[in-house]
Amino acid sequence: MSCYVGVSMAKVTFEPSGKKINISSGISVLEAANNAGVGIDAPCGGKGTCGKCKVYLNQGTLGELTASERKVFSAGDIAKGARLACRATIQGDCIIDVPKESLLGEQKILVNGAEYPVEIDPLVKVFSVTLPKPTLEDNACDWHRLQNALAEQTDYDSIDMDISTLRTLPKIIRDQKYTISVTMYRNRVLAVGDPSLDAVYGAAVDIGTTTMVAYVMDLVSGKIIGVGSMMNPQIPYGDDLMARISYSFKEENLEKLSKLVVDGVNKIINEGCEKAGIEMSSLSEVTIVGNTAMHHIFLRLYPKYLSLAPYCPAVQHPLDLRASDVPININPVGNVHMLPVVAGFVGSDHLGVILSCDIHKSSEMTLAIDVGTNGEIVLGNKDGMVCCSAAAGPALEGSTIKYGMRAADGAIENVNISRGSLNVKYKTIGGSKPLGICGSGIIDVVAEMLKSAVIDVTGKIRERLEDENDRVREGDHGYEFVLEWARRTKIKKDIVITSNDLREVQLAKSAMYAGASILMGHKGITAKEIDRVLIAGAFGNYIDVENAMTIGLFPEVPLDKVKSVGNAAGTGARMSLISGVKREEEREILEKLRYIELATHDTFQDEFVSAMNLPHKDISLFSETMKKVYAPIPVKNNR
Amino acid sequence: MSCYVGVSMAKVTFEPSGKKINISSGISVLEAANNAGVGIDAPCGGKGTCGKCKVYLNQGTLGELTASERKVFSAGDIAKGARLACRATIQGDCIIDVPKESLLGEQKILVNGAEYPVEIDPLVKVFSVTLPKPTLEDNACDWHRLQNALAEQTDYDSIDMDISTLRTLPKIIRDQKYTISVTMYRNRVLAVGDPSLDAVYGAAVDIGTTTMVAYVMDLVSGKIIGVGSMMNPQIPYGDDLMARISYSFKEENLEKLSKLVVDGVNKIINEGCEKAGIEMSSLSEVTIVGNTAMHHIFLRLYPKYLSLAPYCPAVQHPLDLRASDVPININPVGNVHMLPVVAGFVGSDHLGVILSCDIHKSSEMTLAIDVGTNGEIVLGNKDGMVCCSAAAGPALEGSTIKYGMRAADGAIENVNISRGSLNVKYKTIGGSKPLGICGSGIIDVVAEMLKSAVIDVTGKIRERLEDENDRVREGDHGYEFVLEWARRTKIKKDIVITSNDLREVQLAKSAMYAGASILMGHKGITAKEIDRVLIAGAFGNYIDVENAMTIGLFPEVPLDKVKSVGNAAGTGARMSLISGVKREEEREILEKLRYIELATHDTFQDEFVSAMNLPHKDISLFSETMKKVYAPIPVKNNR
Ligand code: FES
Ligand code: FES
Taking Cα atoms as reference points, which of A556, A249, A243 lies closest to residue A393? A243
Q: What is the pLDDT of residue A378?
A: 97
Residues of chain B with pLDDT under 50: 1-6, 107-115, 637-639
CA dihedral B159, B164, B166, B170 (to 10 degrees): -150
Identify whether the C-beta of residue B43 lies closer than 8 Å to the C-beta of residue B50.
yes
Chain A environment of B310 (Cβ under 8 Å): 134-136, 138-139
| pLDDT score for A371 | 85
For residue A181, what are the contacts with CB-CB under 8 A and spacing of at least 6?
Answer: A126, A127, A128, A191, A192, A193, A194, A195, A196, A197, A198
Angle at the Cα of B384 from the Cα atoms of B380 and B390, rounded to 5 degrees: 50
What is the pLDDT averaged over residues A392-407? Answer: 84
Nearest CA to B36 out of B106, B90, B117 is that of B90
- Tell me the pLDDT tens digit for each residue of B560-617: 999 888 888 999 999 999 999 999 999 999 999 999 999 889 999 999 999 999 999 9
For B480-500, b/e burial (b = at least 16 CB within 10 A) is bbbbbeeeebbbeebbbbbbe
Chain A partners of B309 at a C-beta cutoff of 8 Å?
136
- Residue of A144, A316, A319 lying closest to B144 (CB–CB): A316
Q: How many CB atoms lie within 10 A of CB B11?
A: 14
**A108 or A67, which is more confident?**
A67
Q: What is the mean pLDDT of chain B?
A: 90
Alpha carbon of B49 to ligand 2 centroid (Å): 6
DSSP A544-578: -HHHHHHTTSS----GGGEEEEESHHHHHHHHHHH
User: Residues A78-104: what's their mean pLDDT?
Assistant: 90
Q: Taking Cα atoms as reference points, which of B512, B517, B515, B520 lies closest to residue B540?
A: B512
Q: How far is the CA of A66 from the centre of ligand 1 (A)?
A: 12
Domains of chain A: 9-102 (3.10.20.30), 124-193 (3.10.20.880), 205-350 (3.30.420.480)
A365 lines ligand 1 (CB under 6 A): no
pLDDT tens column, A208-259: 888 899 999 999 888 888 888 888 999 888 877 888 999 999 999 999 999 9
Backbone angles phi, psi at A617, to 5 degrees: -60, -40
Q: What is the rounded end-to-end Cα distance, in angstroms, of chain B? A: 79
Task: Give the H/E segment covering residue B254.
Answer: helix B251-276
Count of beta carbons in the 10 Å neighbourhood of residue B470: 9
Q: Which helix (H) or strand (E) holds A370?
A: strand A366-370
Report the separation in Å between the CA atom of A406 and the middle of ligand 1, taken as the mean of its atom positions: 16
Distances, alpha carbon B314 to alpha carbons B292, B318, B327, in Å: 10, 12, 19
> CB under 6 Å to ligand 2: residues?
B 42, 44, 46-53, 84-86
ipTM over 0.90: no
| Mutation to probe ligand 1, out of A40, A41, A52, A56 (largest number of atoms < 8 A from CB) | A52
Q: What is the pLDDT of residue A392?
A: 84
pLDDT in tens, A462-509: 999 999 999 999 998 899 999 999 999 999 999 999 999 999 999 999
> Which residues from chain B sit within 8 angstroms of residue A140, using beta carbons?
312, 316
Cis peptide bond N-terminal to A615, omega within 30: yes
Report pLDDT for A50.
79
With a CB cutoff of 8 Å and minimum separation 6, the contacts of A627 are none
Could you give the 3-state DSSP secondary structure of residue A92?
A: strand
Asked whether the beta carbons of A331 and A164 are under 8 A apart, the reply is no
pLDDT at A533: 95
A65 alpha carbon – ligand 1 mean position (Å): 14
Residue B145 and residue A312: Cβ atoms within 8 Å? yes
Compute how many other C-beta atoms are within 10 angstroms of the C-beta atom of residue A459.
Answer: 22
**Mean pLDDT throughout A114-137?**
85
pLDDT digits (tens, 9 = 90+) for A553-574: 999 999 999 988 888 899 999 9
CB atoms within 10 A of CB A420: 11
Distance between CA B216 and CA B228 in Å, rounded?
8
Q: Residue B118, Cβ neighbours under 10 Å: how many?
A: 18
Give the chain B residue whose CA is nearest to the CA of A336.
Answer: B163
- Dihedrals phi, psi of A620, to nearest 5 degrees: -65, -20
Report the half-sphere exposure of B349 (CA within 13 A, side-chain side): 33
Residues of A in contact with B595 (CB under 8 A): 139
Q: Which of A135, A170, A317 sits opposite B310 (nearest CB)?
A: A135
* Ligand nearest the Cα atom of residue A236: 1
- Burial environment of residue A187 by CB neighbours within 10 A (0 to 12, 13 to 18, 19 or more): middle
pLDDT of A113 above 80: no
Per-residue pLDDT tens digits for A276-328: 999 999 999 999 999 999 999 999 999 999 999 899 999 999 999 999 999 99
| CB–CB contact B314 A134 (8 Å) | no
- State the pLDDT at residue B263: 97
Nearest CA among B120, B116, B354 for reference residue B218: B120
Distance A19 CA to ligand 1 centre (A): 21
pLDDT digits (tens, 9 = 90+) for B353-397: 999 999 999 999 999 999 877 889 999 999 999 999 998 887 887
- The residues, any chain, with a CB within 8 Å of residue A513's CB and separated by 6 or more, are A552, A553, A554, A555, A607, A611, A616
The size of chain A, in residues, is 639
User: Parallel, antiparallel, or unpaired: how do β-strands B532-536 and B366-370 relate?
Assistant: parallel
Taking CA atoms only, the protein residue closest to ligand 1 atom 1 is A48
Query: Are A398 and A387 in contact, with CB atoms under 8 Å apart?
Result: no
Mark yes or no for CB contact B597/A136 under 8 Å: yes
Closest ligand 1 atom number to CA of residue A50: 4
Q: A-chain residues within 8 Å CB-CB of B169?
A: 314
Question: Which residues, in sequence order, are bridge partners of residue B417?
Answer: B424
Q: Are strands A366-370 and A335-338 parallel, antiparallel or unpaired?
A: unpaired
pLDDT of residue A100: 81
Best probe residue, ligand 2, of B28, B29, B38, B44 (max atoms within 8 Å of C-beta): B44
d(CA B186, CA B160): 9
Ligand 1, atom nearest to A85 Cα: 2
* Distance from the Cα of residue A543 to its chain's centroid: 16
Query: B298 vs chain A: nearest CA distance in angstroms?
Result: 11
Percent of chain A with pLDDT over 70: 95
Interface test with A, best of B135, B139, B307, B601 (most A CBs within 10 A): B139
Q: Which of A106-115, A586-595, B414-423, B576-585 has the lowest mean pLDDT?
A: A106-115
* Ligand 2 atom with the shortest distance to the CA of B45: 3
Cis upstream peptide for A43 (omega within 30°):
no
8 Å CB contact of A314 and B143: yes
Give the other-Cβ count within 10 Å of B524's Cβ.
7
**Which pLDDT score is estimated for B240?**
79
What 3-state class would DSSP assign to B38?
coil
Q: B305 contacts in A (CB within 8 Å)?
A: 142, 170, 174
Query: How many whole angstroms from its chain centre is CA A356?
Result: 17
Alpha-carbon span B196 to A214, nearest angstrom: 46
Ligand 2 center from residue B236 Cα (angstroms): 10
Alpha carbon distance A402, A492 (integer Å): 15
What angle do helix axes B163-175 and B142-153 make, rounded to 10 degrees? Answer: 80
What integer pLDDT is reported at residue B521 of this predicted model? 96
Distance, in Å, from the CA atom of B322 to the CA atom of B447, rounded to the nearest integer, reads 49
| Interface-testing mutation among B167, B598, B600, with chain A (most A C-beta atoms within 10 A) | B167
Judge: B134–A310 Cβ closer than 8 Å, yes or no.
Answer: yes
Phi, psi of B266 (to 5 degrees): -60, -40
List CB contacts of A261: < 8 A, sequence separation 6 or more: A207, A212, A232, A233, A234, A294, A297, A298
A337, A286 in Cβ contact below 8 A? yes
A&B contacts, CB < 8 Å:
126
